[in-house]
């Protein structure tokens, strides 16, 4: 089957890419190995879109802004800085927007082979239900988070050291907390002898209907592109949970009678690898706020969180404000018909925090989808279409 654009990966970036592409009038397929869209937000138990309000139409707009408004309209919980809702609500809202936009969706489909001819991807093959399905397209978007489509196509990956990638986590939730005074817990936490030395910062967020606390307290380091490593990390992370639970009951004020209410079905990978694009975003760029001539989205200027020995990495910079993300960071060096969106765009490993939050991934995804739909043209055409789609770039 042939499409104008195929988007691989249905997380925040793939969601933005598929809708951005279909709005240009093209025939678009979105595929994912999971049972629906949402990526980390839905399948790793993280329904927390940090900074989504900032993406409302009045500020940065685009599909992330529309998504925030859709969630508000349906009365899911929103506050000023973070939208916390349930995975169900997010999955439902995303599926609804994809369906209403006219995107074809294929789930339970794992991308595993790519046919590259010359400088173009010709076909991809996914496996699902014990069968292989082959699809061709004019242009493709890699929104797999781990640059799966890019790597299978021979795109170069930026060199990285595993200990410089961000920690992996299995998120869990508790209910039955007597009080939740986050500033007080943050102050107290480092003094309380937490059983795992890596975690020196209390990370908890009220989610769902407000009766549950999402805890971001497990962490390991390892290579998320190696299946044996992924398996080891998943096991270790799950083994940390009962230890932390017991510790919270004994030591954390208000948590004496807490109960485990949910554990994420899949390990949460914050970062793994990044493609080498026509432009590479560096720590220096973020430090110096180097001007960007071809902006397609905006990320943060801060970076260096979630390091394996402590929350702050030795290279952390908490620069305020945001910096534009250049078009060249979405474009692999050699392939003509591939664009990349989301957490695996072209950025130095140490700096990934600056581009990985979900609204930012939706925005780079939308830019990648638009570029793919237009045939990956020169910047001015992508800019005009992004502006038509109400992105404030």
Ligand X SMILES: Cc1cc2nc3c(=O)[nH]c(=O)nc-3n(C[C@H](O)[C@H](O)[C@H](O)COP(=O)(O)OP(=O)(O)OC[C@H]3O[C@@H](n4cnc5c(N)ncnc54)[C@H](O)[C@@H]3O)c2cc1C
By CB under 6 A, name the binding residues for ligand X.
8-14, 31-34, 39-41, 44, 46, 48-50, 110-111, 143-146, 148, 169, 171, 216, 268-270, 342-343, 356-358, 361
- Specify the residue, 225 or 280, whose C-beta has the smaller distance to ligand X: 225
- DSSP secondary structure letter of residue 271: -
- Specify the residue, 224 or 280, whose C-beta has the smaller distance to ligand X: 224
**Min separation Cβ 126 and ligand X, Å:** 7
**Min separation Cβ 281 and ligand X, Å:** 15
- Specify the residue, 35 or 211, whose C-beta has the smaller distance to ligand X: 35
32 by DSSP, 3-state: which?
A: coil
Element (H, E) at 172: strand 172-175
Element (H, E) at 216: none
Q: How far apart are CA 150 and CA 129, in angstroms?
A: 24
**Min separation Cβ 254 and ligand X, Å:** 21
At 371, list the tokens. 């570029």
Alpha-carbon distance values, 119 to 143, 195, 231, 341 (Å):
20, 51, 35, 19
Determine how many CB atoms are found less than 10 A away from the CB of residue 129.
7
**Min separation Cβ 83 and ligand X, Å:** 9
349 by DSSP, 3-state: which?
A: helix
- Specify the residue, 248 or 345, whose C-beta has the smaller distance to ligand X: 345
**Min separation Cβ 16 and ligand X, Å:** 8
Q: How far apart are CA 359 and CA 70, in angstroms?
A: 14
Q: Are 140 and 5 in contact (CB under 8 A)?
A: yes
- Specify the residue, 123 or 253, whose C-beta has the smaller distance to ligand X: 123
**Min separation Cβ 262 and ligand X, Å:** 14
Q: How far apart are CA 204 and CA 283, in angstroms?
A: 28
One DSSP character per residue, 117-147 reads ETTEEEEEEEEETTEEEEEEEEEEEE-SSS-
- Specify the residue, 11 or 20, whose C-beta has the smaller distance to ligand X: 11
Nearest to 324 by CA among 359, 365, 291: 291
**Min separation Cβ 206 and ligand X, Å:** 12
Q: Are 153 and 114 in contact (CB under 8 A)?
A: yes
**Min separation Cβ 15 and ligand X, Å:** 7
- Specify the residue, 9 or 291, whose C-beta has the smaller distance to ligand X: 9
- Specify the residue, 89 or 357, whose C-beta has the smaller distance to ligand X: 357
At 247, list the tokens. 């510790």
Q: Are 87 and 7 in contact (CB under 8 A)?
A: no
**Min separation Cβ 378 and ligand X, Å:** 25
Q: How far apart are CA 70 and CA 25, in angstroms?
A: 22
Backbone angles phi, psi at 127, to 5 degrees: -110, 140
Q: How far apart are CA 172 and CA 324, in angstroms?
A: 33
- Specify the residue, 169 or 199, whose C-beta has the smaller distance to ligand X: 169
């Amino acid at each position: 089957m042939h499409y104008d654009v195929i988007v691989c990966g249905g997380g925040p970036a793939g969601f933005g890419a598929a809708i951005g592409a279909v709005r240009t009038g093209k025939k678009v397929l979105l595929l994912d190995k999971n049972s629906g869209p949402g990526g980390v937000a839905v399948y790793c138990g993280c329904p927390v879109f940090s900074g989504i309000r900032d993406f409302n139409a009045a500020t940065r707009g685009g599909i992330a802004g529309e998504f925030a408004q859709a969630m508000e309209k349906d009365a899911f919980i929103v506050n000023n800085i973070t939208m916390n809702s349930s995975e169900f609500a997010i999955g439902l809202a995303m599926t609804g927007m994809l369906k209403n936009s006219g995107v074809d969706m294929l789930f339970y489909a794992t991308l595993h082979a790519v046919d590259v001819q010359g400088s173009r991807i010709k076909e991809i093959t996914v496996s699902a239900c014990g069968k292989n399905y082959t699809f061709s397209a004019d242009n493709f978007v890699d929104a797999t988070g781990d640059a799966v489509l890019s790597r299978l196509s021979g795109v170069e990956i930026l060199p990285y050291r595993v200990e410089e990638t961000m920690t992996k986590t299995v998120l869990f939730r508790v209910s039955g907390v007597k009080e939740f005074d986050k500033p007080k817990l943050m102050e107290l936490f480092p003094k309380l002898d937490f059983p795992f030395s890596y975690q020196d910062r209390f990370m908890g967020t009220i989610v769902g209907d407000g009766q549950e606390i999402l805890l971001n307290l497990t962490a390991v380091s390892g290579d998320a592109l190696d299946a044996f490593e992924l398996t080891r990390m998943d096991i270790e992370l799950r083994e940390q949970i009962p230890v932390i639970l017991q510790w919270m009951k004994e030591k954390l004020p208000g948590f004496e009678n807490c109960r485990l209410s949910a554990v994420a079905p899949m390990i949460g990978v914050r970062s793994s690898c990044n493609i080498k694009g026509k432009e590479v975003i560096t720590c220096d760029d973020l430090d110096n706020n180097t001007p960007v001539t071809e902006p397609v989205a905006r990320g943060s200027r801060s970076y260096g969180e979630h390091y394996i020995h402590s929350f702050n990495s030795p290279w952390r910079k908490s620069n305020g404000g945001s910096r534009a993300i250049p078009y060249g960071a979405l474009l692999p060096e050699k392939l003509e018909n591939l664009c990349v969106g989301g957490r695996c765009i072209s950025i130095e490993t140490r700096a990934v925090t600056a581009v990985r939050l979900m609204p930012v991934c939706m925005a780079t995804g939308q830019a990648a989808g638009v570029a793919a739909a237009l045939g990956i043209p020169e910047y001015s055409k992508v800019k005009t279409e992004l502006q038509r789609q109400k992105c404030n770039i």
